[in-house]
Amino acid sequence: MMKTARKKNLYQLAAWTWSWVATMAIATFGPKYIWDDHTVLTALAVSVNFANGILMIIANRNLFNKFDELERKIHLESLALTLGLTVVVGLSYSLLDTTNLIAYTAEISNLVLFIGVTYLVCVTINTRRYV
């Protein structure tokens, strides 16, 4: 019963994540390659992507609520580390850009990538610690 409910939440999160990625791609490349910078269509694509993102967050919270106590501990520790590292690394990265210590512009996408990788590594390490 618990496993079925959890699986359902996991599939829902996967579905919302993939559709969020798809709508993000449409909102990013659509104005240039599909609808020739039509403002209304661009606004619509961004709105759909934003709404999709909110639903993805809700699906993630629903899955989190289905975790048992050990899984919650693992994910909570990973979230705490990821949040801390993101703030510290993100601001240092931004500082490198504003002080011209790096030749290129600091992109938010690099930070998103960093968050994803950090969270994955933290969950893997924490899981190995307890299992």
Partner 1 sequence: MKNRLKVLRAENSFTQEDLADIIGVSRQTINAIEKEKFDPSLPTAFRISKLFKLPIEAIFYFEEN
| Identity of the amino acid at 3 | K
Residue 4 is a binding residue for partner 1 (CB under 8 A): no
Give 28 or 124: the residue with its C-beta nearer to partner 1. 124
Instruction: Give least dist CB 131 to partner 1, A.
Output: 5
Interaction pattern, residues 96-125, with partner 1; x per rule: CB under 8 A: ------------------------------
Interaction pattern, residues 62-91, with partner 1; x per rule: CB under 8 A: ------xxxx-x------------------
Residue 128 is a binding residue for partner 1 (CB under 8 A): no
Q: Are 42 and 31 in contact (CB under 8 A)?
A: yes
Give 71 or 97: the residue with its C-beta nearer to partner 1. 71
Closest CA to 92 of 102, 78, 77: 102
The residues of the shown chain that bind partner 1, judged by CB under 8 A, are 2, 68-71, 73, 127, 129-131
